[in-house]
């Protein structure tokens, strides 16, 4: 009696060993490091490593190692945070704008853990320090911009169909078209209804003029607001990547706000510069009639303009702009059905679609380019003083041939890889903010405060663990010591799961762990009290152990399921810190059920199972 089959013992041992392996990286120190990544088509190569080494040597900055990472990244390790900051200045001054350098902490792991790809859990903003920004998106402006597009599209439609109108204006949240007579108004209404099915149209007159009013439906307005929020999130994420912050958190909060958390960042001014940058895109035809070399030599045709692509190669484009990024409503990466090559699928608004259709019809077989234009403010140190200057970036990010006429939706081919197609789609969607933003909340958490939070959180876990250990050992003797052992492994499994999921640990998450420490022994208390009751009823020690575990199981499962439901609800409806608390609480409950029921039973079986016992140390 009270023996597990071999497979069950092996399963428990395997889970514990895997847990120890995944929890192990959290014991190693973190090195101040700089993560260098390529931006806009550049690549991190051995030459990049050589440039960084030379820059650090020239600046007299010592570094521990330079490691090539997957995904076109490299990591520079330093011994101290002072060397890290001086190293970032040296690297930023050497590398071009095509590379981003991010301050981060990287664990100093042994080789076998690196080979296995096992990493420690991330630390949140409150534990690591950094910048917290809450941004409000101006939804009224997003709707106004949509109405403005409708106004321009309707004006263009009526002109192309040669329908005479007096004015096309916006009036109190709707588009108002004014006509001289009712016949023309009715004709225009049919055209507008056919072209713009999402608009709700109404007719009216004041005796001297006749009107068609177009207003957005609630569904259309909600879609515009949702698109503006999502596009702004994508845009901000793309911009924050250039800020030099590893593991940024950019997520939706509510219906119109965006939460930006930048662990390790300590320069709010630079953050505002990045967030306030403006960017757009332009589609232009490539000038195939003139020589690119003549343009490089200074003889640029009046009708053309010389650009450079991401690799610095000259490209001669016509000055006439076909469409701009403001007219792009959506973009997604995919593959060309005919050739199977990577492609980007782009959707335009009505005005852009008509212009694109006209131009591509006249230029089938000719190349067309996508130009990325960005305006941002950069702070540079000049003679020891911070000087702000405006920087304008113009580069060709794609050149592809026009295979056939297209309008509202088309695809851009000629890309090197699916990764490049994904990046191009991101630039097309995130070239400019869809609606104005306003920073409504800003907090900066210093790294020393973050370390204090770590120390206090760790101390609270230790104190809670020690108190529970002493109580259980004193009250339940040998059985209490068993509960203490499985409680320790429960903590190990919690850390292992957080590391396995690459979850972010925050202060509320530590609170969840502390709560789990107290709750984890509840199951053992129920089991041990049941065993005591069976002994008082005159049952044998072996029968009491078996009955205690069996009869307490349903109570334990019921109690933990209700807590699991509460954790799921907190995670589903909570935000930020509440989610962090819910995650650790959920993981802690699951691991405590495993250790308290299976783990403790295995140890009790090892101590008492299969032997003739006259009394239990409980």
Q: Which residues make up the CATH 1.20.1640.10 domain(s) of the chain?
A: 6-24+447-608
For residue range 552-603, list pLDDT tens digits in order.
888 888 888 888 998 899 888 876 678 888 888 899 999 988 988 888 889 9
Model confidence at 383, pLDDT cuts 50, 70, 90, reads low
Q: What is the mean pLDDT of residues 283-307?
A: 89
Average of per-residue pLDDT values in the chain: 82
User: What's residue 468's pLDDT?
Assistant: 86
Residue among 475, 477, 489 at smallest CA distance from 520: 489
User: Which residue's entry shows tokens 């405060």?
Assistant: 449
Strands 304-308 and 314-324: antiparallel
Contact 235, 213 (CB under 8 A): no
- DSSP per-residue codes, 535-594: HHTT--HHHHHHHHHHHHHHHHHHHHHHHHHHHHHHHHH--THHHHHHHHHHHHHHHHHI
CATH of the domain spanning 140-221: 3.30.1360.100
Architecture of domain 6-24+447-608: Up-down Bundle (1.20)
Model confidence at 413, pLDDT cuts 50, 70, 90, reads low
Q: Which residues make up the CATH 3.30.1360.100 domain(s) of the chain?
A: 140-221
Other C-beta atoms lying within 10 Å of the C-beta of residue 95 = 19
Model confidence at 542, pLDDT cuts 50, 70, 90, reads confident
Give the distance, in angstroms, between the CA of residue 96 and the centroid of all CA atoms in the same chain: 25
**Torsion angle of the four alpha carbons 141, 146, 148, 154, in this order, in degrees rounded to the nearest 10:** -170
User: What's residue 71's pLDDT?
Assistant: 64
Q: What CATH topology corresponds to 30-108?
A: Alpha-Beta Plaits (3.30.70)
User: What's residue 448's pLDDT?
Assistant: 59
Other C-beta atoms lying within 10 Å of the C-beta of residue 518 = 13
Architecture of domain 280-414: 2-Layer Sandwich (3.30)
Does residue 469 surpass a pLDDT of 80? Answer: yes
User: In whole angstroms, what is the distance from residue 430 CA to residue 288 CA?
Assistant: 30
User: In whole angstroms, what is the distance from residue 161 CA to residue 139 CA?
Assistant: 33
User: Which residue's entry shows tokens 């981060």?
Assistant: 104
User: What's residue 519's pLDDT?
Assistant: 79
User: In whole angstroms, what is the distance from residue 64 CA to residue 79 CA?
Assistant: 6
Q: Which residues make up the CATH 3.30.70.260 domain(s) of the chain?
A: 30-108
- DSSP per-residue codes, 86-140: HHHHHHHHHS-TTEEEEEEEEE---HHHHHHT--PPEE-HHHH-EEEEEEEE-HH
User: What's residue 316's pLDDT?
Assistant: 93
Positive/negative CA dihedral, 400, 421, 45, 92: positive
Model confidence at 1, pLDDT cuts 50, 70, 90, reads low
User: In whole angstroms, what is the distance from residue 596 CA to residue 486 CA?
Assistant: 6
**Two tokens at 586?**
């959920």
User: In whole angstroms, what is the distance from residue 333 CA to residue 336 CA?
Assistant: 10
Model confidence at 21, pLDDT cuts 50, 70, 90, reads very high
Give the distance, in angstroms, between the CA of residue 318 and the centroid of all CA atoms in the same chain: 37
User: In whole angstroms, what is the distance from residue 227 CA to residue 592 CA?
Assistant: 43
Does residue 397 surpass a pLDDT of 90? Answer: no
Q: What is the mean pLDDT of residues 294-301?
A: 89
Q: What is the mean pLDDT of residues 226-244?
A: 75
Model confidence at 314, pLDDT cuts 50, 70, 90, reads very high
Q: Which tops the pLDDT comparison, 187 or 400?
A: 187
Does residue 39 surpass a pLDDT of 70? Answer: no
Residue among 239, 411, 416, 240 at smallest CA distance from 332: 411
User: What's residue 497's pLDDT?
Assistant: 92
User: What's residue 269's pLDDT?
Assistant: 57
Rounded to two decimals, the pTM is 0.59
For residue range 142-194, list pLDDT tens digits in order.
888 788 888 878 888 888 888 888 888 888 888 999 998 989 999 999 999 88
Least confident of 90-94, 245-249, 479-483, 495-499: 245-249
Q: What is the mean pLDDT of residues 481-509?
A: 88
For residue range 121-144, list pLDDT tens digits in order.
877 777 777 778 888 888 888 888
* pLDDT > 70: percent of the chain: 86
User: What's residue 378's pLDDT?
Assistant: 60
Where helices occur in 196-335 by DSSP H, the ranges are: 218-240, 268-275, 292-296
Residue 407 phi, psi dihedral angles, 5° rounding: -135, -100
Contact 126, 507 (CB under 8 A): yes
Does residue 337 surpass a pLDDT of 80? Answer: no
């Amino acid at each position: 009696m009270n023996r597990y089959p071999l497979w069950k013992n092996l399963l428990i041992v395997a889970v514990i060993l895997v847990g120890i392996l995944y929890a192990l990286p959290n014991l190693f120190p973190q090195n101040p490091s700089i993560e260098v990544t390529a931006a806009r088509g550049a690549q991190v190569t051995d030459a990049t490593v050589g440039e960084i080494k030379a820059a650090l040597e020239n600046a007299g900055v010592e570094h521990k190692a330079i490691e090539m990472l997957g995904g076109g990244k490299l990591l520079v390790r330093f011994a101290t945070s002072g060397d890290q900051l001086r190293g970032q200045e040296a690297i930023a001054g050497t590398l071009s704008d095509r590379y981003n350098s991010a301050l981060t902490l990287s664990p100093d792991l042994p080789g076998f853990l690196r080979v296995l790809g096992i990493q420690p859990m991330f630390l949140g903003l409150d534990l690591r320090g950094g910048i917290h920004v809450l941004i409000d998106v101006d939804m009224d402006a997003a709707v106004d911009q949509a109405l403005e597009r409708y106004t321009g599209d309707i004006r263009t439609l009526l002109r192309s169909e040669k329908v005479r109108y007096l004015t096309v204006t916006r009036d109190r949240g709707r588009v108002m078209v004014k006509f001289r007579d009712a016949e023309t108004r009715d004709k225009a209404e049919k055209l507008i209804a056919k072209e713009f099915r999402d608009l709700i149209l109404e007719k009216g007159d004041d005796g001297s003029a006749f009107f068609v009013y177009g207003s957005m439906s609630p569904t259309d307005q909600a879609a515009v607001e949702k698109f503006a929020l999502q596009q702004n999130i994508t845009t901000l994420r793309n911009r924050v990547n250039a800020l030099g912050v590893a593991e940024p958190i950019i997520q939706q909060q509510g219906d119109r706000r965006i939460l930006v958390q930048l662990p390790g960042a300590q320069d709010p001014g630079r953050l505002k510069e990045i967030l306030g940058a403006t960017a757009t895109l332009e589609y232009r035809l490539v000038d195939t009639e003139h020589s690119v070399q003549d343009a490089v030599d200074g003889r640029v045709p009046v009708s053309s303009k010389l650009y450079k692509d991401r690799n610095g190669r000259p490209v001669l484009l016509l000055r006439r702009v076909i469409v701009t990024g403001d007219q792009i409503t959506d973009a997604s990466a995919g593959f060309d059905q005919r050739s199977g090559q990577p492609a980007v699928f782009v959707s335009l608004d009505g005005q852009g679609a008509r212009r694109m259709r006209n131009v591509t019809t006249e230029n089938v077989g000719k190349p067309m380019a996508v130009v990325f234009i960005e305006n941002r403010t950069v702070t540079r140190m000049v003679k020891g003083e911070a000087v702000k200057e405006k920087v304008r970036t113009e580069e060709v990010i794609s050149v592809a041939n026009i295979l056939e006429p297209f309008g509202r939706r088309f695809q851009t081919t000629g890309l090197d890889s699916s990764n490049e197609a994904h990046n191009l789609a991101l630039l097309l969607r995130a070239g400019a903010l869809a609606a104005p933003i306003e920073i409504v909340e800003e907090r900066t958490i210093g790294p020393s405060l973050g370390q204090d939070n770590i120390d206090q959180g760790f101390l609270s876990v230790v104190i809670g663990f020690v108190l529970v250990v002493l109580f259980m050992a004193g009250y339940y003797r040998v059985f209490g010591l068993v509960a203490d052992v499985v409680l320790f492994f429960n903590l190990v499994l919690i850390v292992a799961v957080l590391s396995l999921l690459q979850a972010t640990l925050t202060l509320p998450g530590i609170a969840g762990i502390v709560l789990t420490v107290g709750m984890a022994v509840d199951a053992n208390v129920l089991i041990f009290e049941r065993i005591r009751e069976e002994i008082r009823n005159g049952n044998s020690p072996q029968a009491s152990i078996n009955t205690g575990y069996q009869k307490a199981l349903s109570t334990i499962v019921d109690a933990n399921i209700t807590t699991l439901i509460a954790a799921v609800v907190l995670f589903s409806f909570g935000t930020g810190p509440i989610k962090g608390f819910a995650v650790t609480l959920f993981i802690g409950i699951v691991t405590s059920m495993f250790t308290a029921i299976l783990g403790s039973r295995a140890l009790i079986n090892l101590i008492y199972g299969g032997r003739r016992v006259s009394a239990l140390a409980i």
